[in-house]
Structures are given as structure tokens and as C-alpha cells.
Amino acid sequence: MKQAGRRGAMLVASFAVLLAIWHAAAVALQNRALPEPATVFSELAAGLINGEIVYHIAITLGRVAVSFFLALVIGTAIGVALGLMKRTNRFFDPWLILFLNVPALVTIILCYIWFGLTEVAVIVAVSVNKIPNVAVTMREGARALEPAYFDLAQAYRFTRIKTVRHVILPQLAPFLAASARSGLALIWKIVLVVELLGRSNGVGFQLHLFFQLFDVPAILAYTIAFVIVIQVLELGVLQPWERRAGRWRT
């Protein structure tokens, strides 16, 4: 408890210093490109009250959630299959390397060309960007599966479902967690770019709009709101799940 308290105090102090430096710099420069923190926070408060920020963040989060889920499921299926089948892996490995190295921007542009400026294009573009990363991580996970546990499952005549649930998934959990975590970090950045290029709502679209209006306080207000939401997801959902899944390690 005491340690947690001290860590909390350190966190507050850290942000306070950052704000102080920002404030001092803004006051000294007196430039429209660097507004004072107070201006940004009143902008944030206004956006939250009239619901505009909430609306656009919700739209963006929806896109993040759907593509995150799809990327995780499809990437896991591909990765586990490749990890378990040597020959298949040798055949498809070059494809994986190719897709890993296609720039996100190229996928996005091509998806907009092929599917039009639609939600489908957004979801496909973001998922395709993430699937190869998930597949590579899960392939490592599948290769690390312990043969002794499969022997156990077979000797005691486990059903297939039982084997997946109690033998395979727990071994893949750390790799899934790693994929989920790096996935969230990557996906929300890509979603913003996708929105900027071809959507008429979402945080990415708003940032683009404010860029054209040279509205720096609004850009910073959206940034702060979005970073907070992502951190809440990380601390409130991903980390507790990881801790629960890793309870047996201690």
C-alpha cells in the first residue's frame, strides 16, 4: 500500500513537471502553434461536455475493436497452423515476410481503391496490417507447445475440445497477451491514418480537420483524451487479464 502510494505521488509529480515545462514554454514563446495547457484543457472540457470528443472517440474505438478482434482470431489461426505444420510453414513463410513488410499506407490506399471509401475498407486495411504480426507471434507460441502435455491428454483420452481448452490455450495465453498488447498499440495508430485518408468521422478525421484549420488546442485536446482512453484499456482490461492468466507462474 505504502509503495503504491509512493508510486502514485511520483506519477503526479512527473506529470506536474511536464505541465510546468509546457506552460513555461508556451508563456515564453507566445505563439499560436503552442497553446498554454489551460487553453487545451478548457478545449478538452468543452469537447467532452458537448459530446463531440466522446462521439469521435467512440467511432474510432469501434473500428479498433472490430479490427483488433478479427486480426487476433485470424492471425492466431494462421500462426498456430504454421507453427504445427512444418511443410506448410516453409511454403507460406515468404508470404508472411512479404505482408510484414508492406507499408501500412499501401494497404490502406489499396483497400480504399478496391472497396471504396467504406467501413469494410477500414476494417480490412487495419486487420491486414496486423494479422502478419499476430501470426508470427502465435507461430512461436505453437512451436513452444510442450509434447509431454499432449501425451498426457492422449493417455487420459481427453476430447479434442478439452485438449484445446485445458492444454493448448493456456500455453498460448502469454503469446496471445503479447499479440493483444502490441496489437492495440499498433492498431489504434493505423486506424487514425485510415480515418484521416477516407472517413468523415473518428479521431483521425477530426485531427485532419483541425490541421487544416490550424487549431492546435483542439488537436492536443483530442490527443490527451485518446491517450487516456487507450491507457485505461491497457490498465483496466489487458493487464488484469494477463495477470489472471499468469497466476499459476508464481
Binding site for another protein (CB under 8 A): 148-149, 151-152, 154-158, 162, 166-167, 170, 173, 245, 247-250
Residue pair 78/179 in contact by the 8 Å Cβ criterion: no
| Closer of 85 and 100 to another protein (Cβ) | 85
| Closer of 101 and 248 to another protein (Cβ) | 248
- Output the smallest distance, CB 180 to another protein, in A: 18
- Cα separation values, 21 from 14, 15, 24, Å: 11, 10, 5
- Output the smallest distance, CB 172 to another protein, in A: 11
| Closer of 23 and 243 to another protein (Cβ) | 243
- Output the smallest distance, CB 165 to another protein, in A: 10
| Closer of 152 and 224 to another protein (Cβ) | 152
State the CB neighbour count (10 A cutoff) for residue 93: 13
For helices 216-233 and 169-198, give the axis angle rounded to 10 degrees: 170
Rounded Cα–Cα distance for residues 196 and 78 (Å): 30
- Output the smallest distance, CB 154 to another protein, in A: 6
Grid coordinates belonging to 93: 513463410
**Which residues does 124 contact at the CB level (< 8 Å), separation at least 6?**
111, 115
- Cα separation values, 71 from 50, 81, 88, 234, Å: 34, 15, 20, 18
- Output the smallest distance, CB 142 to another protein, in A: 17
> Which 3 state secondary structure label does DSSP give 196?
helix
State the CB neighbour count (10 A cutoff) for residue 225: 18
Check residue 156 and report its DSSP letter. T
CB-side neighbour CA atoms (13 Å) of 233: 17
| Closer of 125 and 153 to another protein (Cβ) | 153
| Closer of 162 and 243 to another protein (Cβ) | 162
- Output the smallest distance, CB 8 to another protein, in A: 31
Rounded Cα–Cα distance for residues 215 and 232 (Å): 26
Calculate the CA 208 to chain-centre distance: 21
- Output the smallest distance, CB 167 to another protein, in A: 7
| Closer of 6 and 243 to another protein (Cβ) | 243
